[in-house]
Amino acid sequence: MRYILAFCFTVVSFAASIACTSAIVAGSMTRDGRPILWKNRDTSHLVNFVARTEATDSTHAYVALYNSGDTDAREAWIGYNDAGFAIMNTASYNLRHPSDDWKDREGFVMSQALARCSTVDDFRKLIESMPKPLGVEANFGVIDANGAGGFFETDDYDFTFYPLDNDNPVIIRTNYSVSGGEGGLGQVRYVNACTLLAPHIAKSDISPELLTDGLSRSFYYSPDCSDKSTVPTVIDKDFIPRHSTSASIAIEGVCSPDSVGDMVMWTLMGYPPCGVTTPVTIDSIPHELSPDTLGGCKASRDANTLKDSVFYRRKGSWRIRMPELQRISNENRIKSMINYRQFRTSRKQK
C-alpha cells in the first residue's frame, strides 16, 4: 500500500496536450520477475514504424519506433539495443523551457543513447557530456540488462534522477516532472494510471499485456472515478488512449546481461483500442510494423483507419461512438492475447 500511496499522490488538473503516459516497473512488481518500460505515445505524428539500426565497431544495434516522415530513422521515440539498454521519453511542461530555435531534440538524444549506452549509468554520462543546451524538456525513462532503471527529468542544462529501487518499484510519468514543482500537464492521466495499476501492484503481477492491452484500452476517468466505456457517446478527454495516441509499447527487459536475447518490445501500433499488439525483437520486426512505400507501416495505418470510423467532430471536440469502438477493441485485444501466447510458447520450445 505504501507504494500505491507514494506514487499516486498528486494534484488533479484537466489540462490536455500532445503528450504521453509512461511507467517503469521493477522486476519485483511483475508477473515474470522482469522489468518493464512502457510508453503510451501521444503525438501529432500519428503514423509510425519500427526499424533496426545496425551495429558498427563503436555502436550498438537497436530497434526503435520512428515517425513516418523520418525515413532515415534519426529520431527514436522508444527502443532497445543489443546490450539490453532501453529508453523512452515523455514531454515535460514544468522544467526550464528550451529556446524556440533549439528544441524538440529528444528523439536525437534517444538515438544517441541507443547507439552508445549499455547501462543506466552510461546514459547519465552521455547527457552530462553532450554539448549544451540539449534542446530538451523531458522525462527520459531507462532500464538496462542488470535490472536497473529510472527516470531522468532533463532540461537543457541539468537533470534530476529518480531511480527504480525498493522504495520506488513502480514509477509513472506523464507530462510534468516531480523536480519541476508546480505546473505541467497530464495529472489526470497520471491518476488514471495509478488507479488502474494499484491492484496489480498489490499483487506484484504487472505484465506487458496489462499495459498495452489494459491501460492503453481503458476509458477510466479519474475526476469522476468512472469507466466511460459503457456509455453510447464519449467526448475524448484526458483518457490514457486519446485521439492523439500513435502507439503503445512495452519493452520487457531482463535482469542479467546473459539474458539480453530474451528481451522483447511488445508493440501496439496506432490508436491502441483499434490496434493489435505484436512482438518485436532485436532480430525480428514483423512486416506490418516495418516502413513501406506508403509512409509509416501497415499496422499503424490500419489501426488509424478503424479509429476514423468511430471518431467524429462536434462543437470543437472529438467524440467517440463507444459501442462500435468497444467491439473493435475487444476483437483486437483477443488477437493481441493470441500473439502474446504464441510468442511465449515458441520461446519456451526453443
Residues 252 and 80: beta-carbon distance below 8 Å:
no
Q: Which of 306, 24, 18 is nearest to 148 (CA)?
A: 24
Q: In whole angstroms, how large is the CA radius of gyration of the chain? A: 19
CA atoms within 13 A on the CB side of 12: 13
Question: In terms of pTM, does the model score above 0.85?
Answer: yes
Report helix, strand or coil for 304: helix
Instruction: Please state, as a whole number, how many other Cβ atoms lie within 10 Å of the Cβ of residue 57.
Output: 4
> Which amino acid, one-letter code, is at 100?
D
Residue with cell 522525462: 139
Q: What does DSSP say about strands 36-42 and 220-221: parallel, antiparallel, or unpaired?
A: unpaired
Environment class of residue 273 by beta-carbon count within 10 Å: exposed (0-12), middle (13-18) or buried (19+)? Answer: buried
Task: Output the pLDDT for position 350.
Answer: 73
Query: 203 is written with which cell numbers?
Result: 499483487
* Domain spans of the chain, in order of start: 2-349
CATH node for 2-349? 3.60.60.10
Task: Output the pLDDT for position 263.
Answer: 98
Query: 148 is written with which cell numbers?
Result: 536497473
Task: Output the pLDDT for position 8.
Answer: 45
**Average pLDDT by stretches of 10, the chain with 350 residues:** 42 48 98 98 97 98 97 97 98 95 96 98 98 98 98 98 97 97 94 98 98 98 92 95 98 97 98 98 98 96 98 96 98 98 92
d(CA 51, CA 63): 6
